[in-house]
Amino acid sequence: MRIDEILKRKRTLSFEVFPPKKAETETEQLFETIRELKKLSPDFISVTYGASGSNARNSAEIAGFIKSEGIEPLAHVTGGPSSPDEIDAVAEKLKALGVENVLALRGDKPSDYAENYCKYFKHATDLQEYLKKYAFTLGGACYPEGHAECQTLYADLENLKKKEECGAKFFITQIFYDNAYYYRLVSEARRIGIVAPIIPGIMPITHPKNIARIKSMCGSTIPIELRNMLEIYSDNPVLTREAGINYAVYQIMDLIAKGAPGVHLYIMNRADTAFEIYERLNNFFNELF
């Protein structure tokens, strides 16, 4: 089912998973996680796609598995590292597996940034144009604090508008820890005429070590109160995890109260994280999703 159609009917709960590094040994474990997640009746589960394109095959297989479990998959596809032939191969595989929804991305530039990166698909919009012949329902990424390569949030928003004009029917945000960035993104997007639903992406920080990783990976601002809690209890993994989960729960409650169209949870392939959040917000999910 098309995700934009689901969004017209209801508020969505969704999860992101990623293909495991050791495809041979860990994929079955991920399948078990997906079977567990099914108990929470997600509206869709998205599967990431490696920046290098290296796990493209596994990514499509996981999307196919999600579909076979009766859950709607959202397959990420990145144009930056890929040639048109590679995109055709993945798109055809996804079609054959019955995948209808694709999150069209440029992809993170790899650390060993090669000259050929983005040779064929400079931006997500180029990939969107190319994918049109496959008639997927396309989504795109957006950035509450602005994309790192863009001079201003407003320049980034103009590019987001291009994604919508190129056929993106919904957006999922980069992770953020201060909801004010999300509200600003949504109100500025609406001001310049972007109409597609913007689903907030939430990732609980469950260990102080993750703060530095999140900063370098996504550049997201970590509010001082969250940083303090994680650092004060840094020698107690149970307390830091609880603090991080509860902070995410607070973010979600606030987002729902202010009308967010859904919640996309970055759960790092951990079903227990999804369950802990779900249990704390049982009534919210039952009544408002």
CA distances from 268 to 33, 63, 181 (A): 11, 16, 23
d(CA 59, CA 226) in angstroms, rounded, equals: 33
**Angle ∠(205,268,108) on CA atoms, nearest 5:** 95
16 is catalytic: yes
The token pair at 249 is 């729960």
Q: Which of 61, 156, 164, 276 binds ligand FAD (CB under 6 A)?
A: 156
β-strands 44-47, 12-17 pairing: parallel
Instruction: Give the x-and-dash track for 57-86 against ligand FAD (CB under 6 A).
Output: -------------------x-x--------
Say how far apart CA 247 and CA 267 lie, in whole Å: 14
Q: Measured from the CB of residue 10, what is the shortest distance to ligand FAD in angstroms?
A: 20
- Residue 87 binding ligand FAD, by CB under 6 A: no
14 in contact with ligand FAD (CB under 6 A): no
Q: What is the maximum alpha-carbon separation in the chain?
A: 53
51 binds ligand FAD (CB under 6 A): yes
Length of the chain: 289
Stretch that binds ligand FAD, among 6-14, 83-91, 105-113, 129-137 (CB under 6 A): 105-113
Site for ligand FAD, residues 165 to 224, rule: CB under 6 A: 172, 174, 201
Question: Quick one: tokens of 11?
Answer: 């508020």
Q: Which of 159, 210, 220, 251 is in the footprint of ligand FAD by CB under 6 A? A: 159
Residues of the shown chain interacting with ligand FAD in the complex, contacts defined by CB under 6 A: 48-49, 51, 76, 78, 103, 105-108, 123-125, 141, 147, 149-150, 156, 159, 162, 172, 174, 201
